[in-house]
Structure 1
Amino acid sequence: MRTALIQLSVHASDFADDRRRRAASLVRGRTGDDLVVLPELWTAGAWAYDRWQHDAEEVDGPTAEIMSAAAREAGVWLHAGSIVERDGDGTLYNSALLFDRAGILRGHYRKIHRYGFDTGEATRMGAGRDIVTVPTDFGVIGLAICYDLRFPELFRGLLDAGAELIVVPAAWPAARLCHWRLLTRTRALEEQVYLLACDAVGTHGGMQQAGHSMIIDPWGTVLGEADTAEEVVTADLDMAHVARIRSELPVLRDRVLAIEAPGGR
Structure 2
Amino acid sequence: MRASLIQIDVDPGESVNSRRERAGSLVREQRGSDLVVLPELWTTGAFAYELFGDEAEKLDGPTARAMSEAARDAGVWLHAGSVPERGEDGVLYNTSLVFSPDGALAHSYRKIHRFGFDKGEAVLMGAGDRLVTVPLPELTLGLATCYDLRFPELFRGLVDAGAQAFVIPAGWPERRRAHWTLLARARAVENQAYVLACGTAGTHAGVEQAGRSVVVDPWGEVLAEAGAGEEVLVVDLAPGKVAETRATFPALRDRVL
Q: Fold match, TM over 0.5?
A: yes
The letter for the 1-side match of 2:169 is P
The letter for the 2-side match of 1:23 is A
Counterpart position of 1:63: 63
Q: How does 1:25-36 map to 2 (within 5 A)?
A: 25-36=25-36
2:18 corresponds to 1:18 = yes
The letter for the 1-side match of 2:205 is G
Q: How does 1:1-265 map to 2 (within 5 A)?
A: 1-257=1-257
Counterpart position of 1:263: none
Matches of 2:88 and 2:248 in 1, distance apart? 48
Aligned-partner SS, 2:185: helix
Matches of 1:12 and 1:116 in 2, distance apart? 21
Aligned-partner SS, 2:147: helix
Aligned-partner SS, 2:245: helix
- CA-to-partner distance for each residue in 1:54-79, whole Å, 9 max, x for gaps? 00000110000000000000000000
The letter for the 2-side match of 1:29 is E
Give the aligned length.
257
- CA-to-partner distance for each residue in 1:96-144, whole Å, 9 max, x for gaps? 0011111111110000000001111110000000000011111211100
TM-score by length of 2: 0.99
Aligned-partner SS, 1:212: coil
Unaligned 5+ segments in structure 1 are 258-265
Unaligned 5+ segments in structure 2 are none
Matches of 1:214 and 1:92 in 2, distance apart? 28
Matches of 2:90 and 2:163 in 1, distance apart? 31
Matches of 1:26 and 1:244 in 2, distance apart? 34
After TM superposition, what 4+ stretches of structure 1 lie above 4 angstroms from structure 2?
none
TM-score by length of 1: 0.96
CA drift at 1:89? 2.1
Matches of 1:17 and 1:241 in 2, distance apart? 40
